[in-house]
């Protein structure tokens, strides 16, 4: 249960559902409610397929490139640390992706809603490390996939209610929550490293 909770928090932090809400509202600005819902469903589904690709084929891809997973995990931890720093000190998620939104095909909302907002580089790295074949059984990997489904389902429900949520917390509130998530991520990493060393 402790492992499942830890993994769930990791995935929640890197997927960052609350930080995705302003992106979704910007992408769907001017759309009808039904069209916005279709965009939400499509974006979430595409993000799920991308993450599942990295769960299933990530290690195969690394093997084809002759990169050991341990080396990838070290590089991944560095990237996630920098990603967390950008969440804390950098532009908000909306500010950083406004230019992408203006160039995106808002009818499909695959880019930037699905990628890189939901299925971010940090999320791709995390799902690969949480489903390492040498450390996790098939059952444990299935549990991780189930957690991804749960988080994306929650995300989809949040997207359906995005306008009401942002009306309450505002873009500033979403930015604050996103930055707090950036603080949690490296703290969890350092705690895990301490456990392994102990």
pLDDT above 90 as % of the chain: 22
pLDDT top residue among 149 and 131: 149
Angle between helices 2-15 and 17-27 (to 10 degrees): 30
**DSSP one-letter code for 57:** H
CA pair distance 66, 69, nearest whole angstrom: 10
Q: Is the pLDDT assigned to residue 81 strictly greater than 70? A: no
Taking a C-beta distance cutoff of 8 angstroms, is the pair 48, 149 a contact?
A: yes
Could you tell me the two tokens for 46?
């595409």
CA pair distance 32, 134, nearest whole angstrom: 47
pLDDT top residue among 135 and 108: 135
The 8 Å CB, 24+ separation contacts for 70-76 are 72/128, 72/129, 73/129, 73/132, 76/125, 76/126, 76/128, 76/129
pLDDT top residue among 73 and 162: 162
pLDDT for 109-126, tens place per residue? 687 788 878 998 778 888
């Amino acid at each position: 249960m402790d492992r499942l909770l830890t993994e769930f928090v990791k995935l929640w932090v890197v997927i960052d559902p609350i930080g995705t809400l302003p992106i979704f509202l910007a992408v769907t600005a001017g759309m009808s409610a039904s069209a916005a819902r279709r965009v939400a469903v499509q974006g979430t589904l595409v993000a799920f397929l991308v993450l599942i690709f990295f769960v299933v084929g990530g290690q195969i891809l690394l093997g084809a490139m002759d990169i050991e997973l341990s080396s990838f995990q070290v590089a991944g931890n560095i990237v996630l640390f920098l990603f967390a720093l950008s969440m804390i000190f950098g532009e908000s998620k909306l500010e950083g992706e406004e230019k992408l939104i203006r160039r995106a095909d808002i009818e499909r909302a695959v880019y930037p809603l699905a990628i890189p907002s939901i299925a971010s580089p940090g999320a791709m790295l995390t799902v690969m490390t949480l489903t390492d074949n040498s450390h996790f059984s098939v059952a444990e990997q299935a549990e991780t996939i189930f957690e991804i489904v749960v988080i994306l389902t929650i995300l989809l429900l949040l997207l359906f209610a995005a306008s009401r949520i942002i009306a309450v917390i505002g873009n500033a509130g979403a930015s604050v929550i996103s930055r707090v998530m950036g603080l949690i991520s490296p703290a969890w990493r350092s705690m895990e490293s301490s456990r392994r060393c102990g």
